[in-house]
Chains A and B, each alone.
Chain A
């Protein structure tokens, strides 16, 4: 009964919101919501991550402004207010990014910031966002440290952190090949590569204690030449090779290692391999275990939202969206959900119970003011929302960090095209530590799901 009343009230408020969106349109009172969008536009991360993210952001904003997104995101903009993007290049390092962030807030007067692919940038920006009291959504970086080592009020991350990538990779591997005895790795020598290898190694030590590490290669980010690393891996005789390489580094490794027969004896795991399936083609060995850092791309569930993202992205890029594009969708749709939930609550409160005078004026006033940052934050914390990748729930980091399930699969060449088969899905609680527990502690403790 209580639920029915709540639903009716929410429905009424939504109807009022839609109706007043029309009034505001006609009266021209609505103000634009400016969103600072930070992504790599130059450097090695631009091609595989930064530019696809920008294309996705532009496509999504165009669709939202036109009210053409599928339900429940079919209201125009955010609660009727159109969106305007202020795009900034993420290249240049953390010091530059902190200056750019301050500039976005103080000079560009953005209402929200969505951004950051690099884990280093996320860790540097979060305290500054807190200091400047600007709601900031970290859309793609993976480091679990962002919310495990700090607590923020103004910072949110709408995609899961990277622990699940490593834990699910170990689980999938052992389901596929339980008899493995040795494993090695080749990962980039910076936060992402090191965390990825450490978490995978920890998970393997717990799940398969008798397996031993042969070698852990840590080439420099952007190294490009991997001859010696490939020889070392070949000589190690590893049953399994784990790699979180991405972008040009991954493509170079595959181009150089496949002709040398590295993966004829060793099972390859590519934690972030999914976006490169179509590019690598014959250089992607059959039977490679691949992930997409979540249920994105080929792992995304069939849904209207997924079909919508594919359609609008392909119109701009001429190919399917990769996982950064899905991460962008999570950020925009999560913020829209929080903003509109806050606005509905504000509108509901603006109608005094039993009042018969001044209702329209009060609602207009509430509508034009929009929800405050405090109201958006309150609505965002613990929020569940749908996305092209499935449903995300902001349940970690005191409601500021999203969790979702993930999936892994195995490649198979079919008619010259790389496909993914044997897909296994892992619910969030199986691959993500509960709130308040650090990733290493949780993995060492046996990765027990939260009861």
Chain B
């Protein structure tokens, strides 16, 4: 198999993973204008919950295929518990304040969740490798890829299509777009903005946790994974334009492809390449590639 094809396949797999971990961040920013620094911790929480749920399932001797359901269930559980708790308990108290205050509050949540995770799960690495190998692998040329990576690509595509359809074709999506466009006007026509915020934040948390839960079978889940992921997720959404779903997808594809190219062709610059692209994009389009034009308010 030639190197070009390997770069494309590796790039697609990595881009899919990036999209899954970044989409919740851009959704929350798009609707609520909150740069959620705690996104990484929620990703980590999803990964930890996946090891707990999946580990329990496998330890009981239930059919191993059910462990995939456990990964999704773990993400839903984290979303339903942490989402309302953070939104109702903290963020609601600081809506209307400057964006920097909201960033600081989510940073505080990040620090709190980091310590809570350590208290709950300890510092020893946890793992749930079974789902990664359960589906076997497939070959393209002389390279072997786990089928799990293919599932990740399909799932990422499904999430992108589902969110696009929900936002563009459903009544709830149009309500959401109204809130994105003008919160005050939306409230003025009778939209329950507070409820929209709660649902959006919960879905955003669920997506962050889903990213973590789907990553858990490929890594060792341990303290520190949150910080690594948040930096990458920021790079992706900043390239695409904060708050833009299409932007997050394009950002993920750009970062994924550039990184795969660097690893194969010029490994010494792999670390630098992602941030070089981000800097280049921001020089040319300071608000990212897909930043929506902002309505001028009087």
A interface residues, Cβ below 8 angstroms from B:
41-48, 50-51, 189, 215-220, 222-225, 227-229, 231-232, 234-235, 247-248, 251-252, 255-256, 259-261, 279, 283
Whether B127 and A232, one on each chain, are in contact in the complex, defined by CB atoms closer than 8 angstroms, is no
Q: How far is the CB of A49 from chain B (nearest CB, A)?
A: 10
Whether B10 and A231, one on each chain, are in contact in the complex, defined by CB atoms closer than 8 angstroms, is yes
Can you name the residue of chain B whose Cβ is closest to the Cβ of A48? B125
Whether B228 and A259, one on each chain, are in contact in the complex, defined by CB atoms closer than 8 angstroms, is no
Chain A residues contacting B143 (CB-CB under 8 Å) are 231, 234-235, 260
Q: How far is the CB of B255 from chain A (nearest CB, A)?
A: 12
Indicate if B84 sits at the interface (CB-CB under 8 A).
no
Starting from the known contacts A227-B13, A228-B14, A231-B6, 14 additional A-B residue pairs (CB-CB under 8 Å) come to: A44-B223, A44-B224, A46-B223, A47-B223, A51-B123, A225-B218, A228-B259, A229-B263, A231-B9, A247-B125, A248-B225, A255-B217, A255-B219, A260-B137
Q: Looking at B142, B149, B217, B267, which has the most chain A CB atoms within 10 Å of its CB?
A: B267
Q: How far is the CB of A297 from chain B (nearest CB, A)?
A: 17
Residues 87-115 of B, flagged 1 when their CB comes within 8 A of A and 0 if not, give 00000000000000000000000000010
Whether B267 and A216, one on each chain, are in contact in the complex, defined by CB atoms closer than 8 angstroms, is yes
Whether A189 and B271, one on each chain, are in contact in the complex, defined by CB atoms closer than 8 angstroms, is yes
Q: With A43-B224, A248-B125 given, is the CB distance from A220 to B260 under 8 Å?
A: no
Contact partner of A224 among B7, B219, B264, CB < 8 A?
Answer: B219
Whether B264 and A228, one on each chain, are in contact in the complex, defined by CB atoms closer than 8 angstroms, is yes
Whether B228 and A223, one on each chain, are in contact in the complex, defined by CB atoms closer than 8 angstroms, is yes
Offer 14 A-B interface pairs, CB within 8 angstroms, sorted by A.
A43-B223, A43-B224, A43-B227, A46-B223, A215-B267, A224-B229, A231-B6, A231-B143, A232-B6, A234-B142, A234-B143, A248-B220, A248-B221, A259-B144
Indicate if B145 sits at the interface (CB-CB under 8 A).
yes
Can you name the residue of chain A whose Cβ is closest to the Cβ of B129? A255
Chain B residues contacting A227 (CB-CB under 8 Å) are 10, 13-14, 149
Q: How far is the CB of A225 from chain B (nearest CB, A)?
A: 6
Indicate if B294 sits at the interface (CB-CB under 8 A).
no
Chain B residues contacting A47 (CB-CB under 8 Å) are 123-125, 222-223
Q: How far is the CA of A245 from the CA of B67 in the complex (A)?
A: 29
Chain B residues contacting A225 (CB-CB under 8 Å) are 14, 17, 215, 218-219
Q: With A251-B125, A255-B129, A261-B144 given, is the CB distance from A222 to B224 under 8 Å?
A: yes
Whether B215 and A224, one on each chain, are in contact in the complex, defined by CB atoms closer than 8 angstroms, is yes
Chain A residues contacting B66 (CB-CB under 8 Å) are none
Contact partner of B267 among A217, A235, A261, CB < 8 A?
Answer: A217
Chain A residues contacting B9 (CB-CB under 8 Å) are 231
